[in-house]
Amino acid sequence: MSKIHVSYNQIHSMIKETVDAMHLNDDFQPDIMVAIGGGGFIPARILRTFLKKKNNKNISIQAIGLSLYEDLEIWKAAHKDDTQEPVANEPEVIKTQWLNFDSSETSLIGRNILIVDEVDDTRRTLAYAVRELAKDLEKESAKLREQGLEVPETKIGVFVLHNKLKEKREQLPDEIMNGRYFACKQMPDQWLVYPWDALDIEEHTEKSKENTY
């Protein structure tokens, strides 16, 4: 599988173009981001530059940690399995860091939440993040209803740098895919190398100039 090196400048430009082209500030209007570590951290920070402030404050970025890719790469190397079919002992997504719903500062009820990651590959990590977040939101909503309070609508969206056009292992809810899914680039199933993984950033940047996708 060929490698595609992506530079910081390319990422900065594609994020700006996507915010404008997909009318992120006018339509979805995110007011909080949830970045999936570690690939979603830098894209979320760049994305915040192009999002409108809320009440004269920058959009908040919350961090979550999910473990799949590191274990999955080890698993793939051991099994040499290129099939798209799930295998019984394939690594599961697990939480390594999650949101603290006991803090009022991180309350997500009534917010437009934008989950940010670097790539939509098999979609397992993104689907897990959406599913677990929805569970927590329902628990928080139930507490409000028990108090006789009205629960404002909460919306979840997804933002990725790249969506690989391949069969996905899991799916996202229709309400996300129909208007709340934002991918900067649609691309074939190729090996992406991001600048935050580079050992030699100058060499990486030079290789990124070969991009034709």
Rg (CA), the chain: 18
Please pick, among 26, 102, 121, 174, the residue that the annotation labels catalytic: 121
Contact indicator for 41, 64 with CB cutoff of 8 Å: no
Alpha carbon distance 46, 49 (integer Å): 5
121 is catalytic: yes
| Residue whose C-alpha is closest to residue 193's, from 120, 122, 118 | 118
- Alpha-carbon distance of 110 to 212, in angstroms, equals 41
Helix or strand holding residue 14 (H, E): helix 8-21
Interacting residues of 131 by C-beta distance below 8 A, sequence separation 6+: none
Reported as half-sphere exposure (CB side, CA atoms, 13 A), residue 102 has a value of 1
Return the active site residues: 121
